[in-house]
Amino acid sequence: MLSKRFGRMAVGAMAGTMLMAAAACGGNTGAEPTTSAQPSGDASSEAPKGALKVGLAFDIGGRGDKSFNDSAYAGLEKAKTELGAEIKELSPASDGSNRGELLRQLADAGYNPIIGVGFAYGDDIKKTAEEYPEIQFAVVDSASNAANVTGLLFAEEQGSYLAGVAAATKAESGHVGFVGGVENDLIKKFEAGFVAGVKSVKSDAKIDVKYLSPDGDFTGFKAPDKGKVVAEKMYQDGAEVVYHASGDSGLGVFQAAAAAKKKAIGVDSDQRQTIKETDLQSVIMTSMLKRVDVGVFEYVKAFQGGAKGGSNVIYDLKVDGVGLATTGGEIDDIKDKLDAAKKDIVDGKITVPAKP
């Protein structure tokens, strides 16, 4: 069930089948996501012509964030290695103001498909897709109803629920914290799932919640100093474990955890492996894995097979699109509890809230 790689071969096969079915369907014209359990439509038998050239535009922070963007790049790199794709990645300005320009630059250079990493690309992908109807696009974390756009969505609340179970079980005092990068609907999904998971173990737990920037201000994803200050306060107030969903700012959370000799939970990637600072690795008890790498790779693979856009795909616990990393073995002793929680979610016995 829980493992470092989530049974990568099985995940890839299942997610690929799911994406081929869902992404190929132009009939689902609403923006409501197609769930992983209910794919619809048939894959086109006509494969894209010419060499496979895949373009990817990063979110703020770009490659090297040891989290969200790096996970997307891992999927892109796998497409190069296993599918023979020519790849190109671009990073936006620090304020993200040139996202649309990056998409058009890739389109004009002949890249097809093109992937925008992050919900902030939603509007720009929609506009660019209208301008380039012959090109297929995908956007991570944003639903779409455009005929040539596929939304790659994740059940972050489900993975965060497991993170909450782990945090509450390990925190003897029942005092934990959550640091969000930007106070928007997406990051609130992480908070909602985490709080629900904590409360499932200790209903009277104390949960500190703090966001680094308001909705619309994306600097909270690239502010390690702010992350450190906020986490320091939580640890000083008694929190034993702090979970972050704040991109690059998570480095500051880890620094605060190391100084306080307490624990933290990473996000998106297995951050105990991606963080280079060896003195910080040991404070990362686990990470909530959001398999953007799987989503990106399986989308490209489906495109190569002839799939078209017009739908949305959700990567949830059922297909191991989210979950927990086990590097370091710090949650091995609670594996049974985590597996039971996962099973209850997959079986529908637990419905994890997506809003606080």
Task: Report the pLDDT value the prediction gives residue 63, as an integer from 0 to 100.
Answer: 87
* Per-10-residue mean pLDDT, the chain, length 356: 39 42 33 39 41 94 82 95 97 91 98 96 96 97 93 97 98 98 97 98 98 95 96 98 96 98 96 93 97 95 90 93 97 98 98 97
Task: Report the pLDDT value the prediction gives residue 37, as an integer from 0 to 100.
Answer: 32
Residues 124, 142: contact at Cβ < 8 Å?
A: no
- Residue 48: DSSP 8-state: P
Query: Are 8-154+292-319 and 157-289+326-333 in the same CATH fold?
Result: yes
Instruction: Determine the Cα–Cα distance for residues 144 and 121; give it in Å rounded to an integer.
Output: 11
What letter represents residue 147's amino acid? Answer: A
| Closest residue by Cα to residue 72 from 87, 93, 52 | 87
Q: Where are the domains of the chain?
A: 8-154+292-319, 157-289+326-333
Instruction: Determine the Cα–Cα distance for residues 273 and 104; give it in Å rounded to an integer.
Output: 34
Tokens read off for 256:
């605060």
Task: Report the pLDDT value the prediction gives residue 50, as an integer from 0 to 100.
Answer: 61
Tens-digit pLDDT profile for residues 71-119: 999 999 999 999 999 999 999 998 889 999 999 999 999 999 999 999 9
Domain 157-289+326-333 has CATH 3.40.50.150: no
Q: State yes or no: cis peptide before 113, omega within 30 of 0.
A: yes
CA atoms within 13 A on the CB side of 124: 24
Tens-digit pLDDT profile for residues 141-163: 999 889 999 999 999 999 999 99
The CATH number, out of the four listed (3.20.20.10, 3.30.413.10, 3.40.50.2300, 3.40.50.1010), of the domain defined by the range 8-154+292-319: 3.40.50.2300
Sheet containing strand 149-154, strands side by side: 86-90, 53-57, 114-116, 137-140, 149-154, 311-315
Q: Residue 317 to residues 44, 176, 271, 289, 343: CA-CA distances in angstroms?
A: 28, 24, 19, 11, 9
Task: Report the pLDDT value the prediction gives residue 158, as an integer from 0 to 100.
Answer: 98
